[in-house]
Structure 1
Amino acid sequence: MSGASKRPVDRLLTVTEVAERLSTSERFPRRLIEERRITFVRIGRKVRIPESALNDFIAAGLVHPISTRTWRAA
């Protein structure tokens, strides 16, 4: 195996685990899979979502706060 690049092992999450992390029902992750809005892996009849794909999905929805200026009295 010399010269082969080593990739970190990504944990595969079940639909139930994804739903728990998103604090939602299992229906939402299943819809994400059906609409191809998240990366998933099929292992036989089972479907798993890589943890990195879930983290990317969450990061894509991240909204940063708007910085407001403080008003000075003139």
Structure 2
Amino acid sequence: MRPDLAVLPPRYLRTKEAAAFLSLSPRTLEKHRTYGTGPAYKKLGGRVVYSVDDLQH
């Protein structure tokens, strides 16, 4: 791996990391997802992930 790629932030965060990024509990973020009031998410390999770009906007 190139050294410059090692310092890049991840493109996607799992629920726990996304919740910390937004200063929310993971459960609160899950509730927002259930009610359709939270940030956009995707399912990759059966896992819910949030784009860092979506969380910043």
Shorter-chain TM-score: what band?
0.5 to 0.7
Question: Size of the alignment, in residue pairs?
Answer: 47
- 2:43 maps to amino acid: R
4+ residue runs of structure 1 moved beyond 3 angstroms?
A: none
Higher percent of residues as strand: 2
| Bigger RCO of structures 1 and 2 (CA < 8 A, at least 6 apart) | 2
- Structure 1 unmatched runs, 5+: 1-9, 57-74
TM-score normalised to the size of structure 1?
0.54
Higher percent of residues as helix: 2
| CA RMSD, Structure 1 to Structure 2 (Å) | 1.7
Q: What is the CA–CA distance in structure 2 between the aligned matches of 1:30 and 1:11, rounded to whole Å?
A: 20
Greater C-alpha radius of gyration = 1
Counterpart secondary structure, 1:42: strand
- Structure 2 unmatched runs, 5+: 1-9
Paired-residue identity, %:
23
Counterpart secondary structure, 1:13: strand
